[in-house]
């Protein structure tokens, strides 16, 4: 027998039977099902859910599914064979049909409820029952968790796969049909929005921003739904027509899909004593979150109040770092409600998101989002969501004055922690050891007055140019004499700070290029991809996937010419490109 230390690399997972062997259901097995639920998952009509952590739901398969794409990089990290994505068994499961899953997989998934708060204000009005008991996963349902094997003897040298050993991943279908939380909608996602989310998740991961991941994307060859959308060339604020669009199911993956809004729901129930088990269910969910997302930093032997305080501190650290990363790459979440805030500190729910092109502090891709969710206000919106997170935890500290005081101190320290993250991030973008606030404020003023492309500017600056000539590649406007002089003076002052550092200019340039991407997923690049996909041509999706999973790399001249450029004037102000009213 071969020594285990020198055994051959384990083969990749290439069948559903092999994948099913990794299946686990910690959420369903350790938390409470809604007592009014149908255990077989036949629960597709809107109704109030009063208690329990989840509702068992059987997905509704899409008709005649066709393969569109899968994440080759993520498959490699998981040890999945690429061939698995186009196999009949895998495609059947991840297009919503659980009727023939191999054991120990289960033929039912689960959907969860959550509360809604917008910028720190609790809402129940959008709930069809006016009670708040109708909010939740209206078209998203998890179908399994997988725990990656810990193959200590595997010497394949794949660092990403090594990092996944022993990790738990939850796999969730988006567009898998109606749940009790669908509020009267059809539970479907369309190909357009599915393409956007599929590409955005993998792009964000490649940018180094914590995010849910994309696994697979399938479209129906026959099933369509109607959606409001923009006509070709429309510059309307709102969609101006109803269109039929192909339905699709994308599978997104994360350590968990527990949201701040989910904790809020159980915190509200405990605070209002809505039922006898409300406080216990809150504690169960919080402890499950700690185990799923924070086991490496929170000792399981601690008491619940001690865990709650450490959870708040760690989540604050993750959330501030996340938002600073969003700002670093020019990303705007668009609809940054608490229910769109994942409690482990990753980006979740790519609805009306956008990557800023022309620098604008008030950039907001969603016409219904308002300034409170605009690009520059994301740190404040994050603070509001963190306050709701802390409020949800407080019932678990009843009678523990010291722990409550600690929680309040952590909550009140959010703004300072956020400011520190932002200053550190912008210093890195500028190649500085610490941020010169006056220098940065002058830069922001110049970028605003000159209509500067956010991504192109910082990438060009990363080469530490001798004059402002290369920077003009990022300018949407010609400079007048005054702006030319101010830009030149700014660049001179900035270079004096950069060259005064102990590192060489070449080292600083390389460091800057590691935090300032060359490519960003611009909406005018996305639109042709999903338009072609609607005609059955997935070529552009796969090209974008290749380019946008290497956002810091110097790619071919042809790719640079096509993707590293200013937004064309002919697509300015186009509905569905420069702005959108919804995602579907």
Instruction: Please give the positions annotated as active site.
Output: 339
The DSSP code for 80 is B
Segment holding 513, helix H or strand E: helix 505-515
494 — phi, psi (to 5°)? Answer: -60, -45
**CA 82 – CA 79 distance, rounded (Å):** 9
**CA 499 – CA 493 distance, rounded (Å):** 10
Bridge partners, residue 243, by sequence: 227
In 3D, which of 52, 256, 67 has the Cα closest to residue 167? Answer: 256
**Tokens found for residue 229:** 């959308």
**CA 218 – CA 87 distance, rounded (Å):** 12
A 10 A CB-CB count for 268 gives 21
Contacts for 440-449: CB closer than 8 Å, 24+ residues apart: 442/486, 442/490, 443/490, 443/494, 444/359, 444/361, 446/483, 446/486, 446/487, 446/490, 447/359, 448/359, 448/360, 448/361, 449/483
- Residue tagged 């802390």 (tokens): 390
Secondary structure in 3-state letters for 385-417? HHHHHHHHHHHHHCCCHHHHHHHHHHHHCHHHH
162 — phi, psi (to 5°)? Answer: -60, -45
How far is C-alpha 319 from the geometric centre of its chain's CA atoms?
12
Alpha helices, H only, 229-277: 260-271
State the virtual CA torsion across 456, 457, 462, 466 in degrees, nearest 10: 120
Segment holding 498, helix H or strand E: helix 481-499
**Tokens found for residue 285:** 């969910």
Tell me how far apart the terminal alpha carbons of the chain are, to the nearest angstrom. 56
**CA 539 – CA 534 distance, rounded (Å):** 12
Helices 437-450 and 481-499, axial angle in degrees (round to 10) = 150
**Rg, C-alpha atoms of the chain:** 24
* Inter-residue contact 393 to 263 (CB < 8 Å): yes
**Tokens found for residue 289:** 């979150």
**CA 392 – CA 270 distance, rounded (Å):** 9
- Residue tagged 């490109």 (tokens): 577
In 3D, which of 344, 338, 261, 367 has the Cα closest to residue 298? Answer: 344
């Amino acid at each position: 027998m071969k020594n285990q230390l020198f055994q051959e690399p384990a083969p990749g997972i290439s069948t559903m039977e092999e994948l099913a062997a990794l299946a686990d259901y910690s959420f369903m097995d350790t938390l409470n099902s809604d007592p009014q639920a149908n255990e077989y998952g036949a629960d597709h009509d809107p109704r109030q859910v009063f208690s329990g952590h989840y509702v068992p739901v059987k997905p509704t398969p899409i008709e005649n599914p066709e393969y569109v794409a899968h994440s080759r990089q993520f498959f490699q990290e998981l040890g999945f064979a690429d061939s698995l994505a186009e196999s009949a068994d895998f495609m059947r499961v991840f297009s919503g049909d659980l009727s023939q899953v191999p054991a120990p997989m289960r033929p039912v998934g689960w959907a969860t409820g959550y509360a809604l708060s917008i910028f720190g204000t609790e809402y129940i009005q959008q709930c069809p029952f006016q009670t708040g008991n109708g909010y939740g996963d209206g078209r998203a349902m998890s179908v399994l968790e997988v725990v990656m094997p810990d193959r200590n003897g595997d010497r394949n040298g794949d660092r990403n796969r090594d990092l996944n050993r022993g990790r738990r991943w939850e796999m969730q279908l988006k567009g898998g049909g109606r749940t009790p939380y669908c509020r009267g909608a059809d539970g479907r996602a369309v190909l357009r929005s599915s393409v956007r989310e599929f590409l955005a998740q993998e792009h964000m991961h490649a940018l180094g921003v914590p995010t849910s991941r994309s696994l697979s994307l399938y479209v129906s060859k026959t099933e369509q739904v109607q959606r409001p959308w923009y006509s070709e060339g429309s510059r309307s604020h709102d969609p101006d027509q109803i269109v039929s669009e192909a339905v699709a199911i994308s599978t997104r993956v994360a350590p968990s899909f527990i949201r701040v809004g989910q904790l809020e729901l159980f915190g509200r129930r405990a605070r209002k004593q809505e039922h006898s088990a409300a406080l216990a269910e809150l504690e169960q969910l919080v402890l499950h979150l700690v185990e799923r997302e924070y086991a490496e930093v929170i000792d399981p032997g601690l008491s619940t109040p001690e865990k709650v305080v450490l959870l708040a501190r760690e989540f604050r650290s993750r959330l501030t770092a996340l938002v600073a990363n969003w700002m670093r790459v020019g990303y705007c979440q668009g609809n940054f409600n608490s229910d769109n805030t994942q409690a482990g500190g990753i980006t979740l729910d790519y609805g009306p998101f956008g990557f800023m092109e022309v620098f604008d502090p008030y950039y907001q891709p969603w016409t219904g989002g308002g300034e409170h969710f605009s690009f520059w206000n994301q740190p404040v919106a994050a603070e509001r969501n963190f306050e709701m997170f802390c409020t949800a935890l407080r019932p678990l500290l009843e009678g523990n004055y010291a722990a409550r005081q600690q929680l309040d101190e952590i909550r009140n320290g959010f703004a300072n922690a956020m400011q520190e993250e932002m200053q550190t991030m912008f210093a890195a973008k500028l190649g500085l050891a610490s941020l010169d606030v006056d220098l940065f404020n002058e830069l922001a003023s110049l970028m605003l007055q000159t209509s500067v492309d956010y991504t192109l500017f910082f990438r060009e600056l990363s080469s530490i140019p001798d004059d402002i000539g290369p920077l003009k590649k990022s300018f949407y406007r010609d400079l007048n004499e005054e702006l030319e002089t101010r830009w030149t003076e700014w660049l001179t002052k900035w270079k004096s700070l950069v060259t005064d550092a102990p590192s060489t200019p070449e080292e600083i340039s390389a460091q800057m290029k590691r935090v300032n991407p060359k490519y960003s997923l611009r909406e005018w690049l996305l639109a042709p991809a999903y338009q072609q996909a609607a005609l059955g041509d997935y070529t552009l999706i796969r090209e974008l996937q290749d380019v946008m999973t290497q956002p810091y790399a110097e790619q071919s001249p042809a790719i640079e010419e096509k993707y590293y450029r200013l937004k064309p004037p002919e697509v300015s102000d186009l509905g569905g490109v420069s702005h959108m009213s919804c995602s579907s």
